[in-house]
């Protein structure tokens, strides 16, 4: 059940690359330590809870990361 987690993680990495944003810069903007961002992006933490994954699978849905629409 890591497919969704992997896709979200890759979308975040791509968005960071497009913005020339390092893990350190992202961590500073979020006011967290860099290792926290590293763990999230490496997949060692920050996974979507299994029950949510099961619900989404049952309903034929997936969690995706898309750019925000500007107001």
Domain of 50, CATH number, reads: 1.10.260
Question: Residue 64 domain-assigned?
Answer: no
Q: Evaluate whether residue 26 is within a structural domain.
A: yes
Q: Is residue 66 part of a domain?
A: no
Neighbours of 22 (CB within 10 A): 13
pLDDT number for residue 30: 92
Residues 34 and 45 sit within 8 Å (Cβ to Cβ)? no
Q: Which domain holds residue 36?
A: 3-58
Residue 2 has pLDDT above 70, yes or no: no
How far is the C-alpha of 46 from the C-alpha of 63, rounded, in Å? Answer: 14
pTM recorded for the entire structure: 0.74
Is 54 contained in some domain? yes
* Reported confidence tier of residue 53, pLDDT bands at 50, 70, 90: confident
């Amino acid at each position: 059940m890591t497919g969704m987690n992997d896709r979200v993680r890759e979308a975040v990495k791509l968005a960071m690359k497009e913005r020339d944003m390092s893990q350190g810069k992202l961590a500073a903007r979020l006011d967290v330590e860099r290792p926290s961002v590293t763990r999230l992006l490496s997949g060692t933490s920050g996974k979507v809870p299994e029950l949510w994954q099961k619900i989404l699978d049952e309903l034929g849905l997936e969690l995706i990361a898309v750019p925000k629409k500007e107001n």
